[in-house]
Structure 1
Amino acid sequence: MIRLRRRPVPPPAPEPGDVLAETAGLSVRLGAREVLSGVDVAVRAGELLALVGPNGAGKSTLLSVLAADLPPTSGAVRIHGRPASAWSAPELALRRSVLPQSASLSFPFTVEEVVRMGRAPWSSARPEDDDAAVAEAMAATEVTGFAARPFSALSGGERARVALARVLAQRAPLLMLDEPTAALDLRHQELVLRLCRERALAGDAVVVVLHDLGLAAAYATRVAVLRAGGVAADGPPDEVFSERLLSEVYDQPVEVLPHPRTGAVLVLPNRDG
């Protein structure tokens, strides 16, 4: 008897405030080191959540667990209301898209071919949307002009934008990005965060690992400040970003000031001492 594979069903559009990914009492141990301990965090539709904190605080590990790419040592992880382990890989691919810190390919794919890879989860669901999704993602990230170039021939910043285009083309309602601005110039850092904010305003849930506290303050709906594997604070940037907290977390004196024109939060290192 031939057993037919059940096609994964795309998720319904989330309602504002729906929790699309969350952890409860999360702990992760890698080797002898406990990287995360007792972490409770939620990613909601309509919000852009920035994970910030010093090197080694557990930001990328938390993102990997939220994406169901890394199993927890203990605690609960849920995606779209179900335990992360209950979803199959095809089902997950329709619900969340993930941008890792770096992208490398062994074969000479063109830029357009790389972006089109993001449509693979939809091959049996809505393939008629592929061309429009790919074109839209490439235009948004400004990579249309070199669609035919080999991915391997691109600069680091260009590769980062192409990798982001692949993730955007996937059109999952939960978008997870690990340091998406690290290789980008000033203009494209702003471009990426604007795209993230637009996705959140359109109703998706976006979680981004950032080192630039200014970008986090300018674009994030919420920030979770990680320190030594735990969440030191979680809330809107203008409430969470205080001189005392950030100076303690980063072990570096900082100043938190209002922008002279907009009043937005500015975070600067205090270089007086």
Structure 2
Amino acid sequence: MPRGTVAGQPYARAEALTVRLGGRTVLRGVELTARAGEVLALVGPNGAGKSTLLAALAADLPAAGGAVHIDGRPAVDWSAPELALRRSVLPQSAALSFPFTVAEVVRMGRAPWAGTPAADADEGAVAAAMAATEVAGFAGRPFSALSGGERARVALARVLAQRAPLLLLDEPTAALDLRHQELVLGIFRERAAAGDAVVAVLHDLGLAAAYADRAAVLHDGVIAAQGPPAEVFTAELLSRVYRQPVEVFGHPRTGIPLVMPHRDP
């Protein structure tokens, strides 16, 4: 069973991590820590290595160099069932070949706990996850009949129902409207406040600045900067990484960084 978490405690770590795909080096010497009680945003342009890093942290991709540790042990030392108790993964897209209902898809998140004392919490975990993501109203509908945004929320509900202490989420807001983007990021903050480590790939720098405790800016397979968004989201760094001039200024009420493309009048 996973150990209890303590706020600020490292739960997953990449140490000098190098990953190669198809003969190409995608990540080079990456150092990153996901801590209990924090939301960590992975940001950067397309092709920077964000999804690869997330998959490596999940132990779904092998390291060509360095190592990944989860819950105090090298990730390669955990079996697949043991990993499923410790980390849950939301991929970029969710597709199912069989006509499962929404409730059945969410209940799949409880599979790792079958045969353990935690299985007694299955129904409560499923109901809570569906309520949090606002999908309970169409629990009986086929997953295949849902819109893209609805599927994204159901897939997230599955991850939440799993109740693993490490959440790894790849572009969880990409298909969502404004309301549900805010809803989902609020859920991540709640999970972090409850002691989970949350790592999310985000393209929206405004959401990352507003909700993440720390951000790692990836560029060409390395981490160009990491730290609180207010410190690392600078116009100079982001303009260079994204190859697009940007302006960064504080929100007039909250002071949270706002990132805007520089546009001539």
Q: Give the shorter-chain TM-score range.
A: over 0.9
Residue type of the alignment partner of 2:246: V
Residues 197-208 of structure 1: pairs in structure 2 closer than 5 A? 197-208=189-200
**d(CA) in 2 for partners of 1:60, 1:66:** 10
**d(CA) in 2 for partners of 1:178, 1:205:** 14
**d(CA) in 2 for partners of 1:272, 1:240:** 25
Moved more, 17-26 or 41-50: 17-26
1:11-35 superposed Cα distances (whole Å, 9 cap, x missing partner) = 1220111111111111111123110
Q: Percent identity?
A: 73
Q: Counterpart of 1:65?
A: 56
Residue type of the alignment partner of 1:204: D
Quick check: 2:18–2:63 contact (8 Å CA) kept in 1? yes
Residues 41-60 of structure 1: pairs in structure 2 closer than 5 A? 41-60=32-51
TM-score by length of 2: 0.98
Q: Counterpart of 1:182?
A: 174
Residue type of the alignment partner of 1:143: V
The answer to whether residue 98 in structure 2 is matched with residue 107 in structure 1 is: yes
Residues 119-130 of structure 1: pairs in structure 2 closer than 5 A? 119-125=110-116, 126-130=118-122
Residues 24-103 of structure 1: pairs in structure 2 closer than 5 A? 24-103=15-94
Q: Give how far 1:152 is off.
A: 0.3
Quick check: 2:3–2:71 contact (8 Å CA) kept in 1? no
SS in 2 for 1:183: coil
Aligned length: 264
**d(CA) in 2 for partners of 1:62, 1:14:** 23
The answer to whether residue 239 in structure 2 is matched with residue 254 in structure 1 is: no
Where in structure 1 are there 5+ consecutive unaligned residues? 1-9
Moved more, 96-105 or 120-129: 120-129
Residue type of the alignment partner of 1:112: A
Where in structure 2 are there 5+ consecutive unaligned residues? none
**d(CA) in 2 for partners of 1:25, 1:261:** 40
Q: Give how far 1:127 is off.
A: 1.3
Quick check: 2:168–2:200 contact (8 Å CA) kept in 1? yes
Residue type of the alignment partner of 1:81: G
**d(CA) in 2 for partners of 1:241, 1:177:** 21
The root-mean-square deviation of aligned C-alpha atoms, in Å, is 0.8
**d(CA) in 1 for partners of 2:166, 2:71:** 9
Residue type of the alignment partner of 1:41: L
Quick check: 2:10–2:33 contact (8 Å CA) kept in 1? yes
**d(CA) in 2 for partners of 1:90, 1:101:** 22
Q: Counterpart of 1:272?
A: 264
Residue type of the alignment partner of 2:19: V
The answer to whether residue 136 in structure 2 is matched with residue 144 in structure 1 is: yes
Moved more, 119-128 or 227-236: 119-128
**d(CA) in 2 for partners of 1:33, 1:116:** 38
Residue type of the alignment partner of 2:77: A
Q: Counterpart of 1:227?
A: 219
Q: Give how far 1:75 is off.
A: 0.7
Quick check: 2:129–2:161 contact (8 Å CA) kept in 1? yes
Residue type of the alignment partner of 1:213: L
Q: Counterpart of 1:194?
A: 186
**d(CA) in 2 for partners of 1:78, 1:12:** 14
Q: Give how far 1:135 is off.
A: 0.2
Residue type of the alignment partner of 1:68: A
SS in 2 for 1:113: helix
